[in-house]
Amino acid sequence: MKKIITTIILLFSVVSISNVMASTLVVNKVFPATVLITAEDINGQPQSLGSGFLVAPNIIATNFHVIENSYSGFVKFVNKNEIYEIEGVVGYNSDYDLALIKISDNIGTPLPLISPSIDIGQKIFVIGNPLGLEGTISDGIISGLRDLDDYGVLQISAPISPGNSGGPVVNENGNVIGIATFTISEGQNINFAVPVKYLKELLNNQISQVSLSSLVKIKTTSSKSESSKDFSGVSFTKYSHVISFMYPFCHVIDFSIKNNLRKKVKNIRHMWIIYDIDGEPLDYENYLHGGTVKGKLATRTSISLPRMALKYLNEKKLIEQRSCKGFWDFVELRILDFQIVEE
């Protein structure tokens, strides 16, 4: 019996060492080619975050939805400080949710696309920047091969979150087998990746470089609407202003964060932008509500917006100081992302 237990312990040790070695190989090979992508709106404000990876000199693969309806943007390699402007797009397919963006400098070593074998149950790793957390690696298996409309996708069990979109899905040798693209929030670790063969097709049929703005289908403007981006899972409601001699410029707001899902959510990131009368941004502030909001419930919170920008609007008599009349004509809210709590 003792011998059997010893053998089992040795087997577990071998498996653990093997997993660590595979993870280390993937980190060393894939991290230097992985980037954080920030897409920007017409005013140069952050609009979405995503991931991507080098597939050729100056060329980064990502999801089309990461850059969709963007006017500019930049990338930053994982754990590096330098940023590189997105010069344009040299390939895209919205059906496959894939895009090839060109950056301003030739740096890093591209990941080879060799179409390795794909089997249900095989070990895989996902590398990306979930919720903006740079250089995050998660592991899992290929859970299934699914048909979606006119093309196939990989169902994977490795956890992904907003910000992982466009990141590489690799095997234990660090070879790309897919591109992380979306998740089914109602399930547990039901995530999907586009097979690398579709990315190879795109890379072999590049187009002449076009600008990000040339692909915009929805003409976004500084519409001053209370919510410029539809995140139906979370909404902000029941706004009120804190008015007193300490807060005379409508810059302190109380509001409710409503969770419209059945599951708990947390780490709700939102941005508030203050505009001038001509639609130019005066200032903005990012916020993180780190608390958990239970399913179908709401929580009350408050923030303080950039005071000097609102004071300027008040001095120009564009916002009434005491009643805050006109406030929503110059303030825009964007819900950037949130995390679903799996139980």
Render pLDDT for 230-266 as a digit per residue (tens, 0 to 9).
456 788 888 888 766 566 678 788 899 988 877 788 8
Closest CA to 330 of 275, 292, 291: 275
pLDDT for 17 equals: 46
Instruction: Pick left, alpha or beta for residue 28 (phi over 0 → left; psi -120 to 50 → alpha; otherwise beta).
Output: alpha
* Domain 1-218 identical in fold to domain 234-340: no
Q: Contact at 8 Å (CB) between 286 and 305?
A: no
pLDDT of residue 13: 43
State the Cα–Cα distance between residues 195 and 178, nearest whole angstrom.
4
pLDDT of 167 reads: 92
Distance CA(45)–CA(72), nearest Å, equals 9
Measure the CA–CA gap between 163 and 131, rounded to whole angstroms.
5
Domain 1-218 has CATH 1.10.357.10: no
Strand ranges of the sheet holding 331-340, from the earlier edge strand across to the other edge: 281-289, 265-275, 331-340
C-alpha to C-alpha distance for 308 and 227, rounded to whole angstroms: 23
- Give the H or E element holding residue 137: strand 136-148
Q: How many angstroms separate the CA atoms of 255 and 144, rounded?
A: 42
Spatial distance between the Cα atoms of 193 and 191, rounded to a whole number of angstroms: 7
Give, in order, the Cα–Cα distances in Å from 260 to each of 73, 232, 237, 239.
31, 7, 12, 17
The domain limits of the chain are: 1-218, 234-340
**Under DSSP, is residue 39 helix (H, G, I), strand (E, B) or coil?**
strand
CATH 1.10.3470 fits 234-340, yes or no: no
Half-sphere exposure of residue 135, counting CA atoms within 13 Å on the CB side? 14
Q: What residues are labeled active site? A: 65, 97, 165
- Over its C-alpha atoms, the chain yields an Rg (Å, rounded) of 23
Instruction: Single out the residue of 74, 70, 91, 86 nearest to residue 37, CA to CA.
Output: 74
pLDDT of res. 3: 53
Q: 316-332: string of b/e by CB count within 10 Å (b at 16+)? A: eebbebeebeebeebbb
At 15 the pLDDT is 40
What's the first-to-final CA gap in the chain, in angstroms?
Answer: 37
Strand-pairing partners, residue 88, are 102
- The CA distance from 219 to 213, in Å, is 10
Buried-state track 256-290, b at ≥16 Cβ within 10 A, e below 16: bbbbebebbbbbbbbbbbbbeeeeebeebeeeebe
What pTM was estimated for this model as a whole?
Answer: 0.61
CA distance 155 to 143: 5
**Cα separations (Å) of 118 from 12, 197, 222?**
25, 11, 46
Residues of the chain under the 70 pLDDT cut: 1-22, 131-132, 149, 184-189, 218-232, 243-248, 342-343
Q: Would you state the pLDDT for residue 9?
A: 44
**Opening angle at CA 63, ends 112 and 261, nearest 5:** 135
Distance of CA 174 to the CA centre of its chain: 22
Pick left, alpha or beta for residue 53 (phi over 0 → left; psi -120 to 50 → alpha; otherwise beta): beta
